[in-house]
């Protein structure tokens, strides 16, 4: 049975309190292919009440019970992987193979890593005759985005379950179908009634209701910095914990000693992956001024090999961006790069010549980008790379840090000692040296306006726990 027109509350699929629906658009062709129910404050109230009841028992379950639950979720998730991949591909335009291997695969990685984390996590220890205990924070609201939907759902839901919290998930209304399947997975895995609840809806209605609800003890939000500020303001009156993973404008510093042919190709791939719709994408490539022309040529060659097309078309490497709103924003920023005097190396405004329908962006590279340009300062969230020349590595580090964001930085250097020294000076939550393999156990999160708190593995689990000191415990 299809559950698109229902919410998952208290262990059951239920009708919305007020009938209101929204079309889900396939960005590959701009057609509506599904419809979802949109929630209201009444639906949130019902879900929070269910979570509050469930927490009174689930919050005191044993590690073994929660481990068994997570292992069942992993098994059912694997069984439903193809369904998840098709949903993600259609709702946000990810090419079919990428949707299965990366979008669905990263969710599985977080679930499996949380099982490993929970197996050895220390929830309590004795300290000078007293007991220090880490306990579940309570009822949590989870608000997730559309760009890596299963990544963000799993790296919030998994630690919340491992901690013993009860929760309400509001996924993006733009890409909601994978979350509905995820709720079906949790239901099949036997999550106790009320521990996990799903209410679809928009930010101003459902998101606001979750963030401001007096019985929600914590909100974990991933999305734009603008929306994150609104969530924090809504949460302030009830003094709840707010965990935010927000925007980024990540720098990629290529030291003079690198193999530019290799480093530039990898940098372009990192920037363009997921059609550029990643908050930690290396969108600002800092290169020695006397090598910029060479770098631009390498970047042009690399960018023009990215085949743009429909998510289900054979050979597609870059699918569409998610929506008309995103497409229009990206087009405006590309136009600004041209208008402000950056050198257009390849790509540019408009769709690729053979695509006249769908939210397709031409893979675009600019050179001679200066720090004051909009394309150097604003998060574009599309396949647009800015090459920025530097005169000294010191200047590159200074300019890389000159941003309101601080999510990630990238450093490419043959001299590993110099790379390590530079990594210490980057004002970002993550630094990646020489394109390492992605690690689900590394803490993820940002400095400055890129947010607060950390996700993944034990760092994510810690964020869903309160710390209690019980004095005199040993003596008693």
Length of the chain: 476
**Left, alpha or beta for 117 (phi > 0: left; psi -120 to 50: alpha)?**
alpha
Partners of 169 in beta bridges: 142, 198
What averages of pLDDT result for each successive group of 10 residues across the chain (476 residues)?
94 97 98 98 98 98 98 98 98 98 98 98 95 98 98 98 98 98 98 98 98 98 96 97 97 98 98 98 98 98 98 96 98 98 98 96 98 98 98 98 98 98 98 96 98 97 98 82
Q: What pLDDT sits at residue 200? A: 98
Nearest residue to 197 (alpha-carbon basis) of 38, 1, 14: 14
Angle among Cα 381, 386, 388 to the nearest 5 degrees reads: 145
Measured between alpha carbons, how far is residue 130 from residues 62, 467, 469 in Å?
22, 13, 7
Task: Specify whether the CB–CB gap between 27 and 20 falls below 8 A.
Answer: no
226-234, Cβ contacts within 8 angstroms, sequence gap of 24 or more: 227/203, 228/451, 230/203, 231/143, 231/207, 234/207, 234/208
Model confidence, pTM: 0.97
Parallel/antiparallel/unpaired status of strands 343-346 and 364-367: antiparallel
Q: What is the DSSP string of 404-444?
A: S--SEEEEE-S-HHHHHHHHHH--SSEEEESSPPP-TTS-B
Catalytic entry in 279, 378, 379, 455? 279
Q: Rounded to whole angstroms, how far apart are CA atoms 424 and 259?
A: 23
Tell me the backbone φ, ψ of residue 5, rounded to 5 degrees: -100, 15
Taken in order of first residue, the domains within the chain and their CATH numbers are 7-246+450-470 (3.40.605.10), 250-439 (3.40.309.10)
Q: What pLDDT sits at residue 475? A: 72
Place of tokens 């949590």: 140
The strand ranges marked E within 144-228 are 166-170, 196-198, 218-222
Task: Specify whether the CB–CB gap between 52 and 67 falls below 8 A.
Answer: no
Catalytic entry in 91, 112, 184, 245? 245
Nearest residue to 410 (alpha-carbon basis) of 247, 251, 295, 283: 251
Q: What pLDDT sits at residue 474? A: 86
**293 assigned to active site:** no
**245 assigned to active site:** yes
Which helix (H) or strand (E) is 84 found in, with range? Answer: helix 81-92
Q: Rounded to whole angstroms, how far apart are CA atoms 81 and 224?
A: 28
DSSP 191: P
Task: Count CB atoms within 10 A of the CB of residue 289.
Answer: 13
Strand order in the sheet with 130-136: 124-127, 130-136, 465-470
């Amino acid at each position: 049975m299809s559950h698109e027109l229902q919410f998952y509350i208290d262990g059951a699929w239920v009708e919305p309190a007020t009938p209101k629906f929204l079309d889900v658009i396939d960005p590959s062709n701009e057609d509506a292919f599904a419809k979802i129910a949109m929630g209201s404050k009444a639906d949130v109230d019902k879900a929070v009440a269910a979570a509050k009841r469930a927490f009174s028992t689930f919050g005191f379950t044993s590690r073994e019970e929660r481990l068994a639950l997570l292992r069942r979720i992993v098994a059912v998730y694997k069984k439903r992987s193809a369904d998840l991949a098709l949903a993600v591909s259609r709702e946000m335009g990810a090419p079919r193979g990428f949707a299965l291997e990366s979008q669905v695969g990263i969710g599985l990685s977080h679930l499996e890593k949380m099982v490993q984390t929970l197996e050895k996590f220390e929830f309590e220890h004795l300290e000078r005759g007293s007991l220090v205990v880490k306990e579940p924070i309570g009822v949590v609201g989870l608000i997730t985005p559309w760009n890596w939907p299963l990544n963000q759902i799993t790296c919030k839901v998994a630690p919340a379950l491992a901690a013993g919290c009860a929760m309400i998930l509001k996924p993006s209304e733009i890409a909601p179908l994978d979350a509905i399947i995820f709720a079906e997975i949790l239901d099949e895995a036997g999550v106790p009634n009320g521990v996990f609840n799903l209410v679809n809806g928009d930010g101003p209605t459902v998101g606001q209701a979750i963030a401001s609800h007096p019985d929600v003890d914590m909100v974990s939000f991933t999305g734009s910095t603008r929306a994150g500020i609104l969530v924090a303001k809504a949460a302030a009156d009830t003094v709840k914990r707010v965990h935010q993973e927000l925007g980024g404008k990540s720098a990629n510093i290529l030291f003079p000693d690198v193999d530019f042919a290799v480093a530039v190709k990898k940098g372009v791939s990192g920037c363009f992956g997921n059609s550029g719709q990643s908050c930690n994408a290396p969108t600002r490539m800092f290169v020695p001024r006397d090598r910029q022309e060479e770098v631009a040529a390498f970047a042009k060659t690399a960018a023009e090999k990215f085949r743009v097309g429909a998510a289900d078309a054979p050979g597609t490497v870059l699918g569409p961006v998610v929506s008309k709103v995103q497409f229009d924003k990206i087009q405006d920023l590309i136009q600004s790069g041209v208008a402000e005097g950056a050198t257009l190396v390849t790509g540019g405004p408009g769709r690729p010549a053979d695509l006249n329908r769908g939210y397709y962006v031409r893979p675009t590279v600019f050179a001679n980008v200066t720090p004051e340009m909009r394309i150097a300062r604003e998060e574009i969230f599309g396949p647009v790379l800015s090459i920025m020349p530097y005169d000294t590595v010191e200047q590159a580090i200074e300019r890389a840090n000159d941003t309101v964001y601080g999510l990630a930085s990238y450093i490419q250097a043959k001299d590993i000692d110099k790379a390590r020294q530079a990594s210490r000076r980057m004002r970002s939550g993550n630094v990646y040296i020489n394109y390492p393999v992605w690690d689900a156990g590394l803490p993820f999160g940002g400095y400055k306006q890129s947010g607060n708190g950390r996700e993944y593995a034990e760092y994510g689990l810690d964020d869903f726990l309160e710390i209690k000191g019980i004095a005199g415990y040993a003596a008693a």
